[in-house]
Chains A and B, each alone.
Chain A
């Protein structure tokens, strides 16, 4: 292996202290900033009037990194051009090298490519190009090196930061997914990592072996991941060895923690007073912009020159003003606002908590609140703009209103008096057809890159042509130009979470209710635990308050399986194909086989109820037909007795909750499943004995099938 060679050299080098390298991923491999990112890469989007990548590079330089590999993929030309024209390539002792790729669809691909280039010689810092930080790396690097000396398996140090301590701010501040971590308090080793938390699952399950090795473990819900990693060269080779690692956290970190074959370890480094955050979505864009204005990121603040930015002057109340502003005397420019060079503000306009770029023209009686107006934007008289992002070259005609959460992409024109509805995204480019986004939920992000390059070629058309096309549509008011993107299905949930608009009171309540529902689920969950007494809360309490959460419980996995199954039924897909599809679903949702079995069983039973029926015997007949047809599929997922028991339990649940029609047929169908060899005798008997200890209300079905079980127990031999 090439790495071997490199490795030995590294060990020599470490003695002399070789230069510190960094990898900066100038592509987020996500779509969260669409539609803006269709036209410009995310790292070049201005954050308080300075491209994001400048913050990242400035920090790397100040932290003592001497060589940075900037990995560009989407809009790579734009990034490279930008860097070539910037000062970054000419700083002594700070070497910026671009690596270009056209076919990488994930961070994993990027790291594999960099590994192939064989340019990383020692420990390196891995960040994405949207990182804003002022932390010092010295301590973290030192810790990492010390650990490496003692244990060569300590391959990565992850920077974390305590976030605001309320359960709700955790989620609402940066719009991130909720993060649960388990950390060893003594060694700071990361033991568990769960982002993209499934809200429907009320519990967090720590492997028992984890506690066997550590007498104490800290569980955290109050930390945020800064997405700054200090990695050893092994990390790159790990990505190469595991070609299916795509996402840094979801695959790589999880892979190391869960499938820990080689004993690789990840450690954490907590920062306390310094700042570190990633612009992951519009909400964090908003939050981080405000943090910059409020100088949490010092020295990376607007009045300190750290890249090619124009000098601004800090005035009272967090006001930053460039030197060349024409501002009407009657205009009020409020607190925490930055106004860029060459901008004109008309009479009686009010601007607060906003960033205005360079060369903007703002008419009179305009209200701008909590918004980000990029460069060369024209806002005519009487417009109202709240919590919106307005990109370069946009024209907002007089009297137009932008409701909270609106994103206007480059050169959009909003017609006069037009009210852009909340959360709309408007772009000159039509929304890409979503052929790709439906199928592979998880990887939808990735395929976008191809899409992007496709669309960016469209952009190369002369401007006039692009603008002329949609003008007739006037989706955005008379003489307006632009398409309003519809929110794709399922996106609504994310929409408000990631938007820059403040979260409405109802959503906050919803959030809390989710938290509450968790606890409800929990009390139910616990009821399943086979401890001695009765642990379920009294059913009346549970029912009255759980009624609305009931639907939650069938989590999305079950729904997906059902949908897949139904499609298979209606389009008569082959059974083998169904199995493949369900397997991939299983993998992407990371559920055990038993859940799979349960979900399929549910789908099969649901199918049986689709045929109209009036009597129980009719229902039974359809059930027989359906199980005959799909028994093979079910059987495929019932490899062990545990899964069979799971299915019986699921059946009980179905009878009790979702499809009560089956309740009187429980014993009959159980017998049927036995006859069809779907359930084994052992499974039924162990289910029965398991249920023996349950409380009375739980035993209805056991009683119903008593004779059948008795028969099973008594005549096992003859039966065979």
Chain B
């Protein structure tokens, strides 16, 4: 996207010390700074926005300390590239709460809200453009639910394989796949689908999809965002409260600042041809080319003495299947994304790969007969002893790894030490962790600074230092 997207302000909800990422997040490394291929995860969003010419950002971080850490990092890296304001928001107020605390600092007409843990290559500019084109109150980015293909090479392997991809959302779309008619999230996904008949009547046909995921990238109309967040004080989550509310009330809008008055003339051809029809010309003779929203509203105005029914539009932008889109919101996802970014979605990493399809920093030292396989990454200043084998793993900077060490499907963060003869499989080793000799880890999460004593064999556990507070 080279065209400048004017007058969009971006809010990046970066999160903080997310509980579901313990033990790999800590005070020093809040969620936005978790490394994905040795870069903080937040950098993926920031660079994606930058490439779409969206440079006016507010990054909302939960908690003051985390905000300081994130702010420090951003100013060191992006000082002359982006105009970033880091805002500390209270913890545990949910995404809508975080947005609420900064919504009054926003000035642009339209706001793009992005989750800071998004790793994707879908241009946000396209979402913004779709939003503008429809004059929508909200436009949501949907992408296909990651299929089990990810876990094919995955550490947790067998468990997910047999199962179908996890269903994140149930989405209802209009026949043109541009409007969002129904959304169910969270626990509702497992329940019966309850669709409003009124909206089905208005649109005629609705496509219910269970294979789409809300990617947590939204464009909102600012006035609407402010109004709803002010009025609905107990809305906590964008995904669970705000979006469903807007979707549900779209034909019966309670928003004051938006309404059917916004009649636009340039409607998508396809849509109009489906909705522009004979009935109103037959009975009411006032049919014009409109989306079903306007059609609905005008139908009510046309002959009814009832007060004009206002509508607002909720749109979607569905990413192509070839696009990569994932959120780092679980430990499993952390592993998967790290692997993908140096694997199948390597274009996201921003590195250039060697002929062996891996990235080995020139300053890294490899011992004799040590092999680093494809889809691996070795950070600067790291040392590997003799006869080591590294497969599909990311190793951070300045790690010291002894001899005869096997590292498969794992992430090893900066400054970790791994003793001779150890084996690490499907695990995450945080920074400053020390694994003594002959440690065998399988599917483990080792929190920062933890020490695993020699000869330990641990499987599927989460290890962390006791918090000294």
B-binding residues in A (CB < 8 A): 164-170, 172, 178, 180, 182, 185, 197, 201-208, 210-212, 214-222, 505, 508-509, 512-513, 515-516, 518-520, 522-523, 525-526, 529-535, 537-538, 541, 695
Total interface residues on B, using CB and 8 Å?
A: 63
Partner-contacting stretch, out of B25-33, B244-252, B344-352: B244-252
Chain A positions within 8 Å of B209 at CB level? 215-217
The answer, among A185, A513, A525, A531, for a CB contact under 8 Å with B304, is A513
- Contact yes or no, A218 B195, CB < 8 A: no
Residue from the set A170, A221, A526 with the largest chain B CB neighbour count within 10 Å: A221
* A217 to B299 alpha-carbon distance, docked (Å): 28
**Also in contact, A533 and B211, with CB within 8 A (given A165-B277, A221-B204):** no
**Also in contact, A523 and B249, with CB within 8 A (given A512-B299, A529-B188, A695-B234):** yes
- Contact yes or no, A204 B195, CB < 8 A: yes
A-binding residues in B (CB < 8 A): 94, 96, 167, 170, 172, 186-188, 190-211, 231-237, 240-241, 244-245, 248-249, 251-252, 254, 274-275, 277-280, 282-283, 295-296, 299-300, 303-306, 309
Chain A positions within 8 Å of B280 at CB level? 166
6 A-B contact pairs sorted by A residue (CB < 8 Å): A166-B278, A202-B196, A219-B205, A222-B205, A531-B188, A533-B235
* A218 to B208 alpha-carbon distance, docked (Å): 6
- Contact yes or no, B252 A520, CB < 8 A: yes
The answer, among A166, A204, A523, A535, for a CB contact under 8 Å with B279, is A166
* A250 to B51 alpha-carbon distance, docked (Å): 57
- Contact yes or no, B279 A519, CB < 8 A: no
Chain B positions within 8 Å of A535 at CB level? 241, 244-245, 248
10 nearest CB pairs, A to B:
A166-B279, A222-B204, A167-B201, A169-B279, A533-B241, A215-B211, A206-B193, A518-B198, A519-B198, A219-B206
* Number of A-B contacts defined by CB within 8 Å: 180
Chain A positions within 8 Å of B240 at CB level? 531-533
* A695 to B234 alpha-carbon distance, docked (Å): 9
**Also in contact, A168 and B283, with CB within 8 A (given A202-B196, A529-B188):** yes
Which residue on A lies nearest to B145, using beta carbons? A215
* A421 to B237 alpha-carbon distance, docked (Å): 59
* A529 to B94 alpha-carbon distance, docked (Å): 19
Closest CB in chain B relative to A526 CB, distance in Å: 6
The answer, among B96, B187, B196, B236, for a CB contact under 8 Å with A203, is B196
Chain A positions within 8 Å of B192 at CB level? 205-208
* A220 to B208 alpha-carbon distance, docked (Å): 11
Closest CB in chain A relative to B199 CB, distance in Å: 7
* A522 to B206 alpha-carbon distance, docked (Å): 17
**Also in contact, A204 and B278, with CB within 8 A (given A211-B170, A216-B210, A519-B251):** no
Chain B positions within 8 Å of A201 at CB level? 197
* A13 to B195 alpha-carbon distance, docked (Å): 45
**Also in contact, A532 and B299, with CB within 8 A (given A203-B196, A208-B190):** no
Chain B positions within 8 Å of A207 at CB level? 192-193
Chain A positions within 8 Å of B277 at CB level? 164-166, 169
* A512 to B248 alpha-carbon distance, docked (Å): 18
Chain B positions within 8 Å of A522 at CB level? 196, 198, 248
* 18 new A-B contacts at CB < 8 Å, known A221-B197, A531-B240: A167-B201, A167-B296, A168-B279, A172-B283, A178-B201, A201-B197, A206-B194, A206-B195, A207-B192, A211-B210, A215-B211, A216-B211, A219-B195, A509-B305, A515-B198, A518-B197, A533-B236, A535-B245
- Contact yes or no, A519 B283, CB < 8 A: no
Closest CB in chain A relative to B65 CB, distance in Å: 27
- Contact yes or no, A180 B231, CB < 8 A: no
- Contact yes or no, B278 A169, CB < 8 A: yes
- Contact yes or no, A531 B207, CB < 8 A: no
The answer, among B207, B248, B304, B305, for a CB contact under 8 Å with A523, is B248
- Contact yes or no, A534 B234, CB < 8 A: yes
- Contact yes or no, A217 B234, CB < 8 A: no
Which residue on A lies nearest to B280, using beta carbons? A166
Chain B positions within 8 Å of A695 at CB level? 234
Closest CB in chain B relative to A517 CB, distance in Å: 9
Chain A positions within 8 Å of B206 at CB level? 218-221
**Also in contact, A505 and B303, with CB within 8 A (given A180-B197, A206-B195, A215-B209):** yes
